[in-house]
Amino acid sequence: MTDRTILNAAEPGAWRKSSYSNSEGGSCVEVLDGYPSGVPVRDSKSPQGPAVVFSSVGWALFVAAVKGRDVRA
């Protein structure tokens, strides 16, 4: 079974912030590209905290829904 969390999210390398993030330290999420078992997502205010790992399909559906696209199968 694939792990669904990364306990210490500071360990894997190059996280990128959401394009909707600002420099004022508000609520932000970061994602890690190229992770072998899915798309890890973490809270940018807690980089050492856990990250949730979404399946690639699950993440794509989430992003489409946030952008207001019809994601019905």
Whole-angstrom Cα distance, residue 10 to residue 28? 16
The DSSP code sequence of 1-48 is: ---SEES-TTSSS-EEE-TT--TT--S-EEEETT-TTSEEEEETT-TT
pLDDT at 27 over 60: yes
What confidence tier does 55 reach under pLDDT thresholds 50, 70, 90?
very high
pLDDT at 52 over 70: yes
Report yes or no on whether pTM surpasses 0.75.
no
Give the pLDDT score at 1. Answer: 37
pLDDT at 32 over 60: yes
How large is the greatest C-alpha to C-alpha distance in the chain, in angstroms?
39
pLDDT at 31 over 50: yes
Task: Write out the two tokens for 34.
Answer: 């190229």
* Mean pLDDT calculated for residue range 48-61: 88
